[in-house]
A and B are shown apart, each in its own frame.
Chain A
Amino acid sequence: MNKEKDVLLKMRGIDKKFPGVVALSKVDFTLRSGEIHALMGENGAGKSTLIKVLTGVEELDGGEIRLSGIDSPIINKSPQDAQAYGISTVYQELNLCPNLSVAENIFIGREPKRAGRIDWKTINKKSKEILEKFQIYIDETKPLENYSVAIQQMIAIARAVDISSKVLILDEPTSSLDEQEVDKLFEVMRQLKQQGLGIIFVTHYLEQVYRISDRITVLRNGLLVGEYETSKLPSVQLVAKMMGKELDDLSTLNKDTLQEHMEDREELLEANNLGRLGRIKPFNLCIHKGEVIGISGLLGSGRSELSRVIYGADKPDTGELIWKGKRLTVNAPIDAMKAGMAYLPESRIDEGIISDLSVRENIMIAFQAKRGLFHLLSKKEQEEYTDRYIDLLQIKTSDREVPIKQLSGGNQQKVILARWLLMNPEFMILDEPTRGIDVGTKTEIQKLVLQLAEKGKSIMFISSEIEEMLRVCSRMVILRDTAKVGELEGSELTQNNIMRAIAGGGKHDEG
């Protein structure tokens, strides 16, 4: 079925540069008719850039795109051009108008007209026919917002297919759907596939890739890793390819750094069935004193979400938290903070730094929030604390009164760390503490984590870099598709095991 003559779309040697970054370099991509082709890669691999180049959102800097039936390479300057060639996209954030009717949404921008006026009758009739093809039986005259996200997604697909039906791009279509809705979507996808469409499926859910796709193209750091038939690529290898590690690349990491004195460890925190709908499925987790627990999984697997429900950054809607043997109700972060937790958020800019405030104020703010409104620390105390931590963490700043936004990323991160160290917390959640900061600071932060653990502090460490996790963590929780799927400890902690667990424990290994 997948012979060369069925090739629908050929992208060859695609280059795309953004100021300061090469987003794509010599990437090839081939789509055949009647296939579902998964496009995989971690954050920043170049998936979305490739899609944008194909759909004309971005212009390519080099290479060519060919479509079957057209002799010369095609150039898309806008999504409209791409649509004219039969390439349409359904984005993760649906580009539909929730307050317009279903039928209006299907025909918006191309309404059939009669005598200069919009022909509503035809619009409604045709919409009904189109939807029935997808086995969707709804009132097409009702506003779109009356229907679930899943239905809206189908409507977006129906609209895309009705406009042009050669190449359909689905960008993260399942991220907001529940399991039954996913099943329904997959049915529609199979139906379209049988009609000879080529579907490009962008997702980070491994399990779904194996359920629905025929082929997989993996990108990493803007480079093509390879194109594989899904049935011939075990999921462990897929993960390895996405992360750029070979399976037999057995790490010879120094095990001394791992905390091995865990015999008499004391329980600090326990999560029972804690979860939040749509973000992280209910999980059980136990954290001991003096351990560094890693949370590992692919992007979107629920790493940050897990930590957020513990700290109360997102309020959990099920389960309970036990803190030092007692039930702890966390309504807002202040409750967790008062109990002795600290939280370094994933996005330093959006949720960490308070940009216009000085280094001193940024360091003092959490401590001051805990002390309360009426117990303002004197200027002298504040300066002493600030200077101590600037010194301790070697924060490079010309003055403690400099606004934090003027510091480099690594130094900003150190300020946030100082903010929490000052609180002397018993449990610290560090979500991507080393992302986007220089190598030197990175090592310093890793060392600091180990020192803290030695002093009996517990740390939850989240990072997308496996080496880093192996260096600091004594135990690892593995997440997949927003659920906790396992834990690894001690000698089990190897790169291979982790990748295997992330990929789904041998479920797809045969084949």
Chain B
Amino acid sequence: MMKVKQVLKRVTKHSLFFPLTCLAIVLIINLIKTPTFFRISLNNGVLYGYMMDILNRSSELIILAVGMTLVVAGSGGTDISVGAVSSVAGAVTIFALVGSMSSDTYRMPYGLAVLLGVLAGMVCGAFNGFLVAKLRIQPMVATLILFTAGRGIAQVITQGFILYVRKEQFKYLGNFIPGVPIPTPIFIATIVVVITVLILKKTALGLYIQAVGINSKAARLVGLNSTLFTFLVYTFSGLCAGIAGMIITSRVYSIDANNAGLNIELDAILAVAIGGNSLSGGKFSIAGSIIGAITIQALTTSLYAMKVTADQLPVYKAIVVIIIVMIQSTELKRMVKSLHHKFLCSRERRWAK
């Protein structure tokens, strides 16, 4: 009995316990409402099902959340420009491929165009990093610049048109590669996560970022270059936004500068928060953010499955998010604990009588 209690305590104390519980609750509700929810079937050589859809659709969010996690950890701020930056990256790639007219022929090798797009994202990130790390502008304000100007830049590149790439191969990245049953975005997200986690585990980067995020003065005095690491996390976030931009544009084989990745930065920040990461910086968990991202997408998909219309969606989403955030609030936990304690005390008193 004692042992069970101890194990239970260890499990509930784990930092991923609450994020996982939240995800589990969302999935269980789905299972009750939609019995076919977990069913995955093979149609036309590709896997279909709600679960596949959730994983597929959450890919770009996962990628952005990974970048956002490091930004939050290393600077105690958020990068609100990632949605706009992915739009810029998409615009650069498609412009490089087809110029300012929709077309079915490439002007340059596909790989090079993708590289240029991702690079554009990185440059945007480096710009944010420069503002935050070197000029010490508040992260919210610094990234607000590209948040607003980014879509304008993308518009300039596309000259205001929605550019289409009418070529089957362009769709591979955001959909399926012929003969592979799993959606490509899941692979890309996995690669990004694995590489990031490897870098964090095999180098001291994770420790450095946390130290800088918690106490940049102390970090400097132990010989860390706080400015450099802050710069790096924003650049990395830009890189992630660039990669996400590739998936987003490939899904719809076009770039709509105004709508590509719209509002996704807010979901990315939310994913970090739902993952149990403190938004004031410091200790972080990439796994938590990934679970957070999947939870958000699971929520969206399941609400659609329950026939909630797209325009009503935000209301329901908000309600669930409020509940999730409240469950994780340490203040609420404390209040519940003290209530529980009071209850125990009063019961003891009654026993005494």
Contacts and interface: CB of A to CB of B under 8 A. Distances in A.
B218 interface: yes
A156 B203 CA distance: 54
Interface stretch (A190-198, A203-211, A260-268, A365-373): A365-373
B261 interface: no
Contacts of B283: 356-357
Contact of A343 (B204, B211, B221, B282): B221
Central interface residue in B202, B203, B204, B220, by most chain A CB within 10 Å? B204
Contacts of A368: 204, 207-208
A352 interface: yes
A332 B222 contact: no
B202 A376 contact: yes
A350 B217 contact: yes
A233 interface: no
A361 B203 CA distance: 14
- Residue of A351, A364, A365 ringed by the most chain B CB atoms within 10 A: A365
B203 A357 contact: no
Given A351-B221, A365-B224, A376-B204, 5 more contacts: A334-B223, A352-B218, A353-B218, A356-B214, A365-B222
B69 to A, nearest CB: 15
Given A361-B207, A374-B203, A376-B203, A369 B214 contact: no
B282 A356 contact: yes
Q: How large is the interface on B (under 10, 10 to 19, 20 to 34, 35 or more residues)?
A: 20 to 34
B215 interface: yes
Nearest to A313: B221
A353 to B, nearest CB: 7
B205 interface: yes
A354 B283 CA distance: 11
A419 B222 contact: yes
Nearest to A375: B204
The main secondary structure of chain A at its interface with chain B is: helix
Interface of B: 202-205, 207-208, 210-211, 214-215, 217-225, 282-283
A333 B215 contact: no
A345 B214 contact: no
A317 B143 CA distance: 34
Nearest to B210: A357
B223 to A, nearest CB: 4
Contact of B220 (A333, A353, A371): A333
B279 to A, nearest CB: 13
27 contacts: A311-B221, A334-B223, A334-B225, A338-B223, A345-B218, A345-B221, A351-B215, A352-B218, A354-B210, A354-B215, A355-B215, A356-B283, A357-B214, A357-B283, A361-B210, A361-B211, A365-B211, A365-B222, A368-B204, A369-B222, A369-B223, A370-B223, A371-B204, A373-B205, A374-B204, A376-B202, A419-B222
Contact of B218 (A332, A354, A372): A354
B226 to A, nearest CB: 10
B307 to A, nearest CB: 44
A333 B205 contact: no
Interface residues on chain A, size class: 20 to 34
A354 B211 contact: yes
Contacts of A334: 223-225
Contacts of A350: 215, 217-218
A366 to B, nearest CB: 4
A351 B211 CA distance: 12
Interface of A: 311, 313, 332-334, 337-338, 343, 345, 350-357, 361, 364-366, 368-376, 419
Contacts of B225: 332, 334
Contacts of B224: 334, 365, 369
A351 B223 contact: no
Contacts of A372: 204
Contacts of B214: 354-357
A378 to B, nearest CB: 11
Contacts of B221: 311, 313, 333, 343, 345, 351-352
Contacts, number: 82
Nearest to A371: B204
Contacts of A366: 222-223
A376 B200 CA distance: 10
B331 to A, nearest CB: 18
A357 B282 CA distance: 8
Contacts of A375: 204
A191 to B, nearest CB: 42
A355 B205 CA distance: 18
Q: Which 5 A-B pairs rank lowest in CB-CB distance, beginning with the nearest?
A: A334-B223, A369-B223, A366-B222, A337-B223, A356-B282
Contacts of A333: 220-223
Nearest to A364: B207
Contacts of A376: 202-204, 207
Contacts of B223: 332-334, 337-338, 366, 369-370
A342 to B, nearest CB: 10
B189 to A, nearest CB: 25
Given A332-B225, A333-B223, A373-B208, A353 B203 contact: no
A376 B219 CA distance: 17
A332 B217 CA distance: 12
Interface centre among A350, A352, A354 (most CB of B within 10 A): A354
B208 A369 contact: yes
Nearest to A361: B207
Contact of A373 (B204, B210, B215): B204
B133 to A, nearest CB: 14
- Kindly name the residue among B205, B207, B217, B283 whose own CB sees the greatest number of chain A CB atoms within 10 A: B207
A487 B108 CA distance: 74
B205 to A, nearest CB: 6
Contacts of A357: 207, 210-211, 214, 282-283
A374 B202 CA distance: 8
A352 to B, nearest CB: 6
Contacts of B202: 376
A354 B222 CA distance: 11
A332 B220 contact: yes
Contacts of A354: 210-211, 214-215, 218-219
A446 B283 CA distance: 34
B71 to A, nearest CB: 17
Contacts of A374: 203-204
A83 to B, nearest CB: 36
Nearest to B280: A356
Contacts of A355: 214-215
B247 to A, nearest CB: 29
Contact of A353 (B204, B205, B207, B215): B215
B54 to A, nearest CB: 32
A313 B222 CA distance: 10
Given A337-B223, A356-B283, A351 B217 contact: yes
Contacts of B219: 354, 365
A29 B219 CA distance: 45
Contacts of B222: 333, 337, 365-366, 369, 419
Nearest to B211: A354
A334 B226 CA distance: 11
B13 to A, nearest CB: 13
A311 to B, nearest CB: 8
B225 to A, nearest CB: 7
A351 B219 CA distance: 8
A222 B223 CA distance: 40
Contacts of B215: 350-351, 353-355
